[in-house]
């Protein structure tokens, strides 16, 4: 083999390895998104359950998951429903991730949605005669396309991505569609397993390609993005406007590249929002003034920049810009929420990817729990620690950035941190004690009595979940701090760790209201 052929061969092998690794990480993110969405369902059931059933569910969720977090969640939901064990369809529903890709089709480049059923950890029970019916349904409820997957789909098929079929849009009109998945087997009749939204939007890929997307970081993508930025007015080629655009484009990239869908995602709205920001920059205007409603923005984090990822110099933060824009918002207290990092189990076993929890998951959990449903506060949610050199430093920088961007009451600022976020919040609250007046530490973080004694404006509340490995030490530290009169342990709601922020939301809100009262 010549040297040139050897270089080419090695280059192809390296490229294949990189692409294979990227695909494996994307699959891992879909697997984690399946668990995250099921935790939201568990939270809904938890909020509606009796105290007795809550205790049973918390005990179930605290057990080691033996490598299958989905079965643990199904068992916890069964306990909330008053059942000793989940039915087979519930186990199947919990175990299957549905890949309906691309999420946005244009009818030309992408004339069909390809549906793949995948069991990331396999099926924990044997199901004889398992088959699936797939339906592509339009906004009027009409079936546009359908397919059947076998009369005996096996565990190996579901683990190795062999349960797959295309559903063509054919002559369907553009609009919103759903992929509906039904299962049937010898032991149960046809039952709904999952629903995945998809969109038929002609021109979407071309419009997305006109944005400065980076996606896989290929030379072509980077060159295109650089050209778009270079064509902007000189004053807009750096600074907060371009930082915002990067975060908005990040949402478009998610749908374009097949990343997992997040709560509140809307590809049409996200694309229009990114296009509007780019046009504002081209017109030499500040795109921040055009934002409406809840938006995930990016906030500079300076010396505490992330070690890796596309947004290395920024943290993703979800804020509510109001129906009339930031300029029309009234002055309010600020609550910054910092969730824990992605984890499979209570022992902090983590997925290989994602490294950080996107704010959308926490925003949706708080919404379901009715946290600040009256809009009394500025509730901001940042991504979890995981890719920052200093988690507490990143929290401090985000806090300062929000105070510059939002009309914040400087005397009423509080932080809420969960697990790793709790440790970051505890340190940030101490370092910013003159500016932070309250902190809630959920299943992580501690402030000593001596530290509290030297920071007169700061008050701390602890929320501790059932079965937490450090429960005893957290309770002991909380009681020691409470002796100062400026720390307290929130009422025990019997919450499992995996839905802690939502389950503790009511007691967290009560503590914050007491701190914010005139």
Instruction: With cut-offs at 50, 70 and 90, classify the pLDDT of residue 10.
Output: very low
Q: What is the pTM of this model?
A: 0.92
Q: What is the mean pLDDT of the chain?
A: 89
Task: Please count the other Cβ atoms lying within 10 Å of the Cβ belonging to residue 284.
Answer: 12
Establish how many alpha carbons lie within 13 A of residue 123's alpha carbon, considering only the half-sphere containing its beta carbon.
21
- Confidence class of residue 452 from pLDDT cuts 50, 70 and 90? confident
Instruction: Answer yes or no: is pLDDT of 225 > 50.
Output: yes
Residue 4: pLDDT band by 50, 70, 90 thresholds?
Answer: very low
Answer yes or no: is pLDDT of 102 > 60. Answer: yes
Encode pLDDT of 397-424 as tens digits: 999 999 999 999 999 999 999 999 999 9
The region of weakest confidence among 14-23, 93-102, 184-193 is: 14-23
Radius of gyration of the chain (CA): 24
Judge whether 158 and 122 are in contact, CB under 8 Å.
yes
- Among 440, 436, 458, 438, residue whose Cα is nearest residue 449: 458
pLDDT of residue 330: 96
Q: Are 480 and 460 in contact (CB under 8 A)?
A: no
Going across the sheet that includes 112-118, the strands are 97-101, 112-118, 163-168
Q: Name, in order, each residue with C-beta under 8 angstroms of 53's C-beta and a sequence gap of 6 or more.
A: 79, 80, 81, 82
Backbone torsions φ then ψ of 53, nearest 5 degrees? -70, -30
Helices (H) and strands (E) in the chain, counts: 16, 16
What is the Cα–Cα distance from 40 to 196, expressed in whole angstroms?
A: 16
Could you write out the three-class secondary structure of 296-338?
EEEEECHHHCECCCCCCCEEEEEEECCCCCHHHCCCEEEEEEE
Reported as a single tens digit per residue, the pLDDT across 109-125 is 899 999 999 999 999 99
pLDDT, one tens digit per residue, over 353-365 is: 999 999 999 999 9
Residue 92's pLDDT band (boundaries 50, 70, 90)? Answer: very high
Q: Which residues pair with 461 in a beta bridge?
A: 440, 488
| H helical segments located in 166-307 | 204-209, 219-230, 240-257, 267-282
Segment 460-470, tens digit of pLDDT: 999 988 877 77
Distance in angstroms (rounded) separating the CA atoms of residues 130 and 150 = 8
pLDDT above 60 (res 16): no
> Taking residues 479-489, what's their average pLDDT?
85
25-70 pLDDT, tens digit each: 999 999 999 999 999 999 999 999 999 999 899 888 887 777 899 9
Q: What band does 303 get if pLDDT is binned at 50, 70 and 90?
A: low
Higher-confidence position of 511 and 484: 511
What is residue 363's predicted lDDT score, i.e. its pLDDT? Answer: 98
What gap in Å lies between CA 61 and CA 498, rounded to an integer?
8
- Give start and end residues of each alpha helix (H) in 81-169: 88-95, 155-159
Q: Are 513 and 486 a contacting pair, CB within 8 Å?
A: no
347 vs 352: CA distance, rounded Å: 15
């Amino acid at each position: 083999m010549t040297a040139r052929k050897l270089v080419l061969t090695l280059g192809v092998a390296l490229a294949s390895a990189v692409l294979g690794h990227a695909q494996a990480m994307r699959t891992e993110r879909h697997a984690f998104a399946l668990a995250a969405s099921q935790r939201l369902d568990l939270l809904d059931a938890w909020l509606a359950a009796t105290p007795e059933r809550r205790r049973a569910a918390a005990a179930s969720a605290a057990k080691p998951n033996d490598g299958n977090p989905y079965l643990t969640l199904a068992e916890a939901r069964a306990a909330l429903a008053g059942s000793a064990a989940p039915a087979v369809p519930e186990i199947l529903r919990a175990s299957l991730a549905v890949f309906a890709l691309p999420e946005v089709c244009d009818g030309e480049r992408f004339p069909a949605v390809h549906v793949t059923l995948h069991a990331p950890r396999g099926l924990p029970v044997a199901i004889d005669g398992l088959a699936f019916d797939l339906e592509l349904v339009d906004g009027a409820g009409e079936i546009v396309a359908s397919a059947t997957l076998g009369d005996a789909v096996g565990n190996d098929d579901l683990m190795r991505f062999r349960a797959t079929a295309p559903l063509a849009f054919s002559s369907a009109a553009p609009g919103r569609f759903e992929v509906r998945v039904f299962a049937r087997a010898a032991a149960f009749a046809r039952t709904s397993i999952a629903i995945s939204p998809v969109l038929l939007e002609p021109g979407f890929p071309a419009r997305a390609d006109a944005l400065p997307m980076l996606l896989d970081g290929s030379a072509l993508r980077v060159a295109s993005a650089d050209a778009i930025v270079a064509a902007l007015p000189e004053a807009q080629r750096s600074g907060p406007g371009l930082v915002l655009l990067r975060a908005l484009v990040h949402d478009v990239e998610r749908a374009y590249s097949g990343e997992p869908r997040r709560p509140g995602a809307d590809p049409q709205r996200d694309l229009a929002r990114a296009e509007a920001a780019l046009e504002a920059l081209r017109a030499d205007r500040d795109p921040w003034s055009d934002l409406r409603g809840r938006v995930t923005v990016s906030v500079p984090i300076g010396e505490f920049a992330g070690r890796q990822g596309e947004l290395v110099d920024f943290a993703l933060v979800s804020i509510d810009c109001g129906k009339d824009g930031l300029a029309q918002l009234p002055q309010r207290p600020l609550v910054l929420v910092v969730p824990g990092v992605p984890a499979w189990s209570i022992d902090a076993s983590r997925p290989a990817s994602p490294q950080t929890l996107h704010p959308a998951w926490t925003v949706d959990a708080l919404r379901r729990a009715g946290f600040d449903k009256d809009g009394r506060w500025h509730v901001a949610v940042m991504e979890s620690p995981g890719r920052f050199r200093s988690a507490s430093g990143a929290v401090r920088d985000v806090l300062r950035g929000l105070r510059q961007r939002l009309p914040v009451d400087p005397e009423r600022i509080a932080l809420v941190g969960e697990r790793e976020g709790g440790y970051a919040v505890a340190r940030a609250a101490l370092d910013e004690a003159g500016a932070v007046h309250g902190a809630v530490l959920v299943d992580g973080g501690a402030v000593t009595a001596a530290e509290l004694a030297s920071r007169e404006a700061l008050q701390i509340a602890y929320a501790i979940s059932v079965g937490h490995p450090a429960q005893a030490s957290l309770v002991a530290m909380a009681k020691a701090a409470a002796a100062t009169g400026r720390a307290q342990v929130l009422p025990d709601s019997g919450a499992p760790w995996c839905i802690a922020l939502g389950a503790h939301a009511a007691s967290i809100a009560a503590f914050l209201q007491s701190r914010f009262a005139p």
